Amino acid sequence: MRIAICEDDDAMQTSLKKIIEDWAESGSTDVDVLCYPSAEAFLFAWPEMSFDLAFLDIQMKQMTGIELASFIRKTDSNMLIVFITSFAQYVLKGYDVNALHYLIKPVSIAKILPILDKAKLICMSRQDLFILVTDGAGRLKLSFSDIYYISISSHTASVHVGSNVYYMRKTIDELLEILPDCFVRVHRSHVVNLYKVDCMYKDSLLLSTGETLPISRNNSKDVNDAFIRLHIGR
């Protein structure tokens, strides 16, 4: 897990970091904790540096934790967010950005540990549901269920989501190891999400976007069998 602490109180930042690292060591959990003294410092590193969980102080000098969370949610709906505040009246604002939890200062170990346990379980359940891609401006998490197909050229995978295309450095064999069973190789350079296929033909398929992709002779039987299994099982 990669965890961010965005907190302008040095003592609080240090204390929270130690609690997280002690929790990780006791549970043999691999964590990377990065600290930022302001929302602006966090944004300078993100989204090039992606996070599973972020602890955000609500009252910071310039941009508040609530404002930072709203900015994050514009492109990342999956980062787990925990707010830290001295005032309970801010708690309701957390629902607007789907916050995992909130912590009222002073923060105790007893309050933090259950939140870390919950966050770990959520991250484990999501482990195989997303891939990390780039869109030219930064990196973002992309749900497998949103992908229509992936095309490969020179070790660069072009991930097609409707009319949008994202990129990642993977070979087709590496992709097939991490993609769910609904993805099949239909051609030397194409892997398709069968849930996005409207029609299957002998040597091609029609996606729900209206695009047509070729099916190679060598892959034809496997693709058709996979398509039938998928829809019979639904």
- Domains of the chain, start order: 2-126 (3.40.50.2300), 130-232 (2.40.50.1020)
- How large is the average pLDDT for residues 19-44? 92
- How large is the average pLDDT for residues 187-211? 89
Q: Where are the beta strands (DSSP E) in 144-196?
A: 149-153, 156-161, 164-169, 183-187, 190-193
Give the tens place of pLDDT for each residue, 148-185.
Answer: 999 998 878 899 998 889 988 888 888 888 888 788 99
Say if residue 231's pLDDT is above 50: yes
pLDDT at 168: 85
Query: Of 152, 169, 150, 168, whose CA–CA distance to 160 is shortest?
Result: 150
What is the rounded CA–CA span in Å between residue 14 and residue 148?
A: 44
Q: 89 falls in which pLDDT band (50, 70, 90)?
A: low
126 against 163, higher pLDDT: 163
Would you tell me how many other CB atoms lie within 10 Å of the CB of residue 22?
12
